[in-house]
Every structure is written in structure tokens, then in C-alpha cells.
Amino acid sequence: MNARPEKLVVVGAGSWGTTFAKVLADSAIERGVVEPEIVLWARRPEVAEDITARKRNTDYLPDIDLPACLSATTDLAEAVAGAGLVVLAIPAQEVRGHLPSIRAHLDPAAVVVSLVKGLERGTDARMSELCAEELGLPDERFAVVSGPNLALEIARQEPTATVVASADPATAEWIAVRTSGPYFRPYTNTDVTGVEICGVVKNVIALAVGICDGLGYGDNSKASVITRGLAETARLAESLGGQAETLAGLAGLGDLVATCASPLSRNRTAGRHLGQGLSVDEATARLKQTAEGMKSVSAVVDLARRHGVEMPISEAMNAVIAGALDVDTLAGLLLARDLKPEGRS
């Protein structure tokens, strides 16, 4: 294999993409890397200029100072060329459209990492499947990073842990080294499918928790939805080959709790707006960023149906987003299943 370049690139300059680029930069500085090259691809010129010239991302992380070694560009080819690590931090529905340009300039040894917590509508594809199809990547050159990773808290350098999953343990370890730092602790895993599904479905469950919040329900209701949501996630993940241990770890329970409990969570916030009576379009406009749960829920439900997996909370969320179910009638549906022992759920 060719030597892997040390240039690191993040495709997407939203709050999580920018924060992850900061993590990479801070890790490089901590490891004593001389003149690290960390590049962000931004869609809008003003965002790229803000990051490069002022070391700020005013739109998404207005109070965070970014490392001096961070730069940004709107030229995707320029960003990807010569990079040993290419991180995808864009909405799930936009990934396929960017992959041909990435493939044209991808180093033969480069690893692609997905931060994306969504499925592609129409194909129900996970990002690992998209990258294998569109980039021709072997398993050992792909990884996914997921966990209780609320961007603003990490940008503030509050301690957090995460999971780096790759079919190849050496690849996961290579990425872990480049993300590890005083406030960011990566653990490695080989269960790519389980980690991806956990990251996708927790956003759907967070929508339900947010709706409960918006409707004025208390913590019992929200804890019940979170717990039943974890069971749904487990059924789907395991049906696709995911491991039960993943569900109990950072990418499963950890990410679910953080996303459902934090006011910083876009998906919980979107759900709260819906519970307060806003339409889907109004809630989306209020957020100003993508809530992947609203975009991916139809694909989650379609995938579950194709595999014969019962996901009543996800089904209810899909009906709400499609306008087929009013949130005021949601309470009875969120927990409406036949009476049975908990362990058989």
C-alpha cells in the first residue's frame, strides 16, 4: 500500500464538521506534529473566508476560537487532493452527489470517515454502503465515528468519548491516534453496521422525545420512549448483523441519551417544535441546520419493513413527518404494543 499522507480533510463546515476539524487539529498539536495540515471544505465562500482569515465559524460556532493550522476552501478537489483522511460531515441526502468529485481526487491510500448519522432516502443505504459503491472503497479504508458527540460541548473542550468503527482494527487505531486528545477519547470497534444504525435511529427517537417535551409530558414519558427506542434500535441493528455490545456502548446507549436529553440536540429541538404546534417546514426553518431524524425516518421505516422488524416509535415519527398523524394523537401510539414480557420486546 502507498504511504498515507498526513493531510486531513473534513468535507462540511457545519457545527460538527468544524468541531471535528478542531479535534483533528488539537490532536495533531498535542502529538507534536510540525505544521499540521487540516482543511475544511465549506459550501459558502463567506464561511471559508471566516475560518481561514479569522479562525472563526461565526454561523455555527460563534464563540469558538479555531486553531491557527485550520484553513478552509470552497474547492472540493483542492481540499481532497493529497489527503490521507477524508471526513464526511454533510447531510446524508447530499453525500452521493459529492462522492464522484471526491473519488476523482482521492489518494489511493486515503481513508474515508463518515460522521453522517442518516440513511439515503430511496435506497435506504448506510454511508458505508454508499462509499463502497461510489468510491470503490475496500472495507479497510472506511470508518465511522459516532457517540455522544454534541458539537458545541466538544468545541468548548468539554471531555467526551466516542467510537471509531472500522472492519480493519488497524485503520480504526490509525484514526483514533489522530483524534485522541485531552478532551476527546476515541475507543475502537469493528461493528460498522451497528454503530451506523445506532447513529441513525437515535435521531428518530430524539424527535419523539422532543415531541413529548413540546406536549408538556414529564420525564417518565420521555424515559419510556428512550428505553423503547433503544429496543427498536437493537432489533434493527441486530437484524442487519450489528452486535448487541454496540447497543450498550457509547455509540448506542451513550449517543441515544445525549441526543434525547440535551437542549443542544437538533433532533430533540425539532421534535419540541413539532410538539408545540409548528409544521415540519416551520420546525426546519427554525433550526437552520439539518435534523437528520426528519430526513431519514422514512428510510429507517422502509429498511425495517423490508427486514420484518417492528419499530412502532419510528413508524409514528414517520407518520408525523409525512403529515399523516397529528402530534396530539401521538401519546397512545408511542407505547402501543401488545402486552408481553419486557425481554421479548
Residue ranges of the annotated binding site for sn-glycerol 3-phosphate are: 117, 147, 202, 255, 265-267
| Sequence ranges of the binding site for NADPH | 15-16, 43-44, 60, 117, 151, 266, 292
* 202 in catalytic set: yes
The gap from C-alpha 337 to its chain's centroid, in whole angstroms, comes to: 29
Which one-letter amino acid corresponds to residue 336?
A
Strands 160-165 and 142-146 come out as antiparallel
Distance CA 39, CA 41 (A): 7
Which one-letter amino acid corresponds to residue 222?
K
| Sequence ranges of the binding site | 15-16, 43-44, 60, 117, 147, 151, 202, 255, 265-267, 292
CA separation (Å) from 118 to 91, 197, 224, 271?
8, 8, 23, 17
Catalytic residue among 7, 22, 202, 222: 202
Tell me the catalytic residues: 202
